[in-house]
């Protein structure tokens, strides 16, 4: 710590990302990355863009990429905002729509970056407890003062609301923005994007990190009413007009144009998720009804912390949150069928030894 820091930094508990180990090779099921490679069209587009044009600044408006995203989502380009990963887009949303407006409402168990952003921007929060089954109690998110932030499917539970329920939340918060983070929607949930034409206060945030296997490229975007997008551009252009480099823009545009490949990969992940869930249940695990690319599991006798440590020692990384209400669960990303075979085999050995 430094005496030269701004005073409010001392009170911020920054977000801690999943472990990215360098010491040895692991079966990596801790950061919800897609186990399949990106589309070949993405790699071809990046290679083609890696020429003399790199001496120039990238398109600040991400025009080609924005048009590709709009076409893929069935909206107008004016309803799309591109950013350097959905985390950056979320940060700009907090600044654009929730700062100085009062108390922001969010679930007690959700993406742990949300309270970090709130603290960073000095936003007070109304933390709503999830139901006993870890689902979102929709009515408790009505009539917020400053806005609502939820993930759908939620993380780390994986539980999804129908799009109509997102619409109900938007309808019952007419004076503020309802931000719906759909980072995992492509693995079996229903997107609320079609509702933005009905609710001008509904903003959807998406990412190519999970569905398109492009976590390393950092592509996120928001979809909403044109006035909301103008607000986000005002924040962006007050910080950094060039948020996406030329290679990222080219690769991401190609990904949107190869939607069939993305859909096929997501379908494989969802199929493996269901198969793995059945195998985990036979080992004594209870799971939430995940519609994401991970499962959220609790064992009937073995503690989550013990299993987390034992798995790591055996070369398998999963995510453990030492947090009230979920410290008895593990979040396990869905890998290939081969990855999950190894996970199950290692778990069988661990549970037998316990």
Residue 117 sits in the same domain as residue 254: yes
Q: Please tell me whether the peptide bond between 291 and the residue prior to it is cis, using omega within 30 degrees of 0.
A: no
Tell me what pLDDT residue 26 has.
87
Residue 270 sits in the same domain as residue 219: no
Tell me what pLDDT residue 5 has.
83
Q: Which of 258, 286, 320 finishes a domain?
A: 258
8 Å CB contact between 138 and 169? yes
Structural domains in the chain (count): 2
Q: How far apart are CA 146 and CA 176, in angstroms?
A: 6
DSSP annotation of 198 reads: T
* CATH label of the domain that carries residue 309: 3.90.1150.10
Residue 190 sits in the same domain as residue 285: no
Tell me what pLDDT residue 216 has.
96
Answer left, alpha or beta for residue 100, where phi above 0 means left and psi between -120 and 50 means alpha.
left
Tell me what pLDDT residue 11 has.
81
* CATH label of the domain that carries residue 183: 3.40.640.10
Residue 273 sits in the same domain as residue 224: no
The answer to whether residue 291 is domain-embedded is yes
Residue 289 sits in the same domain as residue 170: no
Nearest to 151 by CA among 210, 73, 236, 226: 210
Residue 229 sits in the same domain as residue 348: no
Q: Which of 258, 278, 293 finishes a domain?
A: 258
Residue 33 sits in the same domain as residue 48: no
Helix (H, G, I), strand (E, B) or coil at 32: coil
Residue 303 sits in the same domain as residue 331: yes
Tell me what pLDDT residue 201 has.
98
Cβ within 8 Å of residue 230, ≥6 positions away: none
Residue 141 sits in the same domain as residue 164: yes
Tokens 């801690």 map to which residue? 16
Cβ within 8 Å of residue 91, ≥6 positions away: 117, 120
For the entire predicted model, the pTM comes to: 0.94
Q: How far apart are CA 195 and CA 203, in angstroms?
A: 10
Strands 294-299 and 124-128, by their bridges, are unpaired
| Tens digit of each residue's pLDDT, the chain (354 residues) | 677 888 888 888 877 777 777 766 889 999 999 999 999 999 999 999 999 999 999 999 999 999 999 999 999 999 999 999 999 999 999 999 999 999 999 999 999 999 999 999 999 999 999 999 999 999 999 999 999 999 999 999 999 999 999 999 999 999 999 999 999 999 999 999 999 999 999 999 999 999 999 999 999 999 999 999 999 999 999 999 999 999 999 999 999 999 999 999 999 999 999 999 999 999 999 999 999 999 999 999 999 999 999 999 999 999 999 999 999 999 999 999 999 999 999 999 999 998
Where would I find the beta strands (DSSP E) of 98-227?
103-107, 124-128, 147-151, 177-181, 202-207, 220-224
Burial class (CB in 10 A: 0-12, 13-18, 19+), 6: exposed
b/e burial code for range 93-124 (CB count within 10 A of at least 16 → b)? bbbbbbbebeebbbbebbbebbbbbbbbeebe
What are the DSSP calls for 72-121, one per residue?
A: HHTS-GGGEEEESHHHHHHHHHHHHHTTTSSEEEEESSS-THHHHHHHHT
Residue 234 sits in the same domain as residue 338: no
Structure tokens, 59: 């398109």
Tell me what pLDDT residue 14 has.
79
- Which residue range forms the structural domain that includes residue 343? 7-37+260-353
Tell me what pLDDT residue 289 has.
97
Tell me what pLDDT residue 23 has.
66
Residue 14 sits in the same domain as residue 27: yes
Residue 112 sits in the same domain as residue 252: yes
The answer to whether residue 2 is domain-embedded is no
């Amino acid at each position: 710590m430094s005496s030269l820091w701004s005073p409010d930094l001392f009170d911020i508990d920054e977000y801690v990302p999943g472990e990215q180990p360098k010491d040895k090779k692991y079966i990596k099921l801790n950061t919800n990355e897609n186990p399949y490679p990106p589309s070949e069209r993405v790699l071809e587009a990046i290679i083609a863009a890696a020429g003399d044009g790199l001496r120039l600044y990238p398109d600040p408006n991400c025009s080609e990429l924005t048009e590709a995203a709009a076409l893929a989502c069935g909206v107008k380009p004016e309803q799309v905002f591109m950013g350097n990963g959905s985390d950056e887009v979320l940060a700009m949303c907090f600044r654009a729509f929730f700062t100085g407006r009062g108390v922001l409402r969010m679930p007690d168990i959700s993406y742990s970056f949300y309270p970090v952003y709130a603290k960073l921007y000095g936003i007070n929060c109304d933390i709503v407890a999830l139901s006993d089954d870890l689902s979102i109690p929709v009515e408790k998110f009505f009539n917020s003062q400053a806005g609502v932030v939820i993930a759908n499917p939620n993380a780390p539970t994986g539980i999804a609301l129908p799009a109509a329920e997102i619409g109900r939340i938007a309808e019952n918060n007419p004076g503020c923005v309802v931000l719906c983070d759909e980072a995992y929607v492509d693995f079996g949930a229903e997107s609320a994007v079609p509702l933005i034409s009905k609710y001008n206060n509904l903003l959807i945030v998406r990412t190519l990190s999970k569905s398109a296997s492009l976590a390393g490229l950092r592509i996120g975007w928001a979809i909403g009413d044109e006035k909301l997008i103008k607000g986000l551009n005002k924040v962006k252009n007050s910080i950094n007009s060039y948020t996406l480099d030329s290679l990222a823009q080219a690769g991401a545009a190609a990904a949107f144009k190869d939607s069939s490949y993305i859909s096929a990969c997501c379908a494989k992940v969802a199929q493996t998720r269901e198969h793995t869930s059945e195998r985990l249940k036979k080992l004594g695990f209870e799971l939430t009804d995940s519609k994401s690319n991970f499962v959220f599991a609790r064992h009937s006798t073995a503690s989550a912390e013990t299993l987390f440590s034992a798995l790591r020692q055996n070369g398998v990384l999963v995510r453990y949150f030492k947090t009230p209400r979920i410290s008895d669960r593990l979040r396990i990303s869905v890998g290939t069928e081969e990855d999950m075979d190894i996970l199950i085999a290692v778990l069988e050995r661990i549970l037998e030894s316990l």
